[in-house]
Amino acid sequence: MGTQFAIVTSQLQMEANAVVNSGLWNTSDAHFNISNRCSWSSISCNEAGSIKEINIYFAISVERLAVIGIGLRGSIPKEIGLLSKLAYVDLNSNSLVGELPSSLGNLKRLEYVDISFNNIQGSIPSSLGNLTQLKFLYISNNYIQDLSHNRLGRNLPISLTNLTQLQYIDISNNFLNGTLPSAIYNNLSGMVPQSLCDISYLDISNNCLKGPIPHWRKRINIVKGVASALSYLHHDFTFPIVHRDVSTSNIFLNSEWQPSVSDFGIARLLQCDSSNRTIVAGTIGYIAPELAYTMVVSEKCDVYSFGVMALEILLGRHPEEILSSLQLTSTQDIKLREVLDKRLQRPNNEMVSLHIIQVAVVAFACLNLSLSSRPTMKCVSQSFSTQIIPLSIPLSEFSAHQHTSQELQTLFHVI
């Protein structure tokens, strides 16, 4: 009995803390004594003294609503759309049910929404496309089964492309069973529209989503396009511009599958009369190894990162194991066909197979641990423009050792 009483007391205390932090009431006002919260005109409690209902009409001017982790039950009332000054809503880690009210779309000042870890069902209302100031949207770990605004199994509401300020969206761990439209994809599997070009995080993992993955020709063209862009940065300016954070997360595709390199937040303009020393910056897993001990930035740092990115596009995942094996004196002879992205059919066209081999050869050349032995991005870009000579060895027989051979690198004009 004592343990049960302690649990109830603890829950009520958590609830009281949530009320204090919610932003709905001025609890410093004597009228809103937290210990007497059940007597407030805006609150109804059960027999145990726990809040069961909140009338939000009184909070018409509230700008911040945060009720987190107190086991709040029921559905989000449609009246929330009346709180026109709301800029911040955090209702995560409760027991909310029902659907997202379409009236959320009336809150034009909203910048932050977190309703993750509840029991919300239904679809994402298309009215969310009205929230043009929205920067953070968290609706993960619910039971949302649809991304459309009308029926199950359809696409994300096209209105979401209006959210030009959106930086972070997490819809993971739901029961999504629709398809991803051409409007919104992840970096390797599709396109991010120009209107969402500032998004920095998109998590759609652990669902049952279906959608096309770029076939080999498109993936090869993505690699070529990025090579051309980096060559332009390195060689077509008075002073070379080093991006310093080349990775798949910073490559965006337009509706024609043409890539563009984004996020120049840590880019560096190289000076001919400078040592160009700097702190290590970039994305872990893509940073050139020499930066760990030289701290000197050069174009060859981008070349290494490009090599990682090119392999990732072929493999459909980060080539962590391959990068580790390159550090060893006796590299395991890995067959290329064994590590290619298994979600795509094996190429049955000879020219496509040759281009895949070419990308692999170029990538391994870029991953050379010797800084001076790596090709320039101009050389890489030009190698993709040269005519490929048919090879006598089929794709199925190519191995890592052959990809690193100088003979093949010469054949593909990488060195």
Least confident of 59-63, 116-120, 206-210, 335-339: 206-210
Q: Which of 44-58, 217-231, 237-251 shows the highest mean pLDDT?
A: 217-231
What is the band of 275 on the pLDDT scale with cuts at 50, 70, 90? low
In whole angstroms, give the CA distance from residue 70 to residue 52: 11
Q: What is the pLDDT of residue 332?
A: 62
In whole angstroms, give the CA distance from residue 196 to residue 184: 8
What is the band of 56 on the pLDDT scale with cuts at 50, 70, 90? low
User: What global pTM score does this model have?
Assistant: 0.50
Decide if pLDDT at 403 tops 70.
no
Decide if pLDDT at 83 tops 80.
yes
Decide if pLDDT at 2 tops 90.
no
- CA pseudo-torsion sign 143, 147, 149, 150: negative
**Rounded mean pLDDT, 165-190:** 46
Beta-strand relationship, 136-138 and 168-170: parallel
Share of the chain above pLDDT 90, in %: 13
Q: Tell me how many degrees the CA angle 117-40-64 measures, rounded to the nearest 5.
A: 45
The secondary structure element, H or E, covering residue 75 is strand 73-75
Strands (E), 84-183: 88-90, 95-97, 112-114, 121-123, 136-138, 143-146, 168-170
In whole angstroms, give the CA distance from residue 171 to residue 272: 47
Q: For the chain, which domains are there?
A: 56-210 (3.80.10.10), 216-413 (1.10.510.10)
Q: What is the pLDDT of residue 267?
A: 53
What is the band of 270 on the pLDDT scale with cuts at 50, 70, 90? low
Partner residues linked to 75 by β-bridges: 97
Q: What is the pLDDT of residue 313?
A: 92
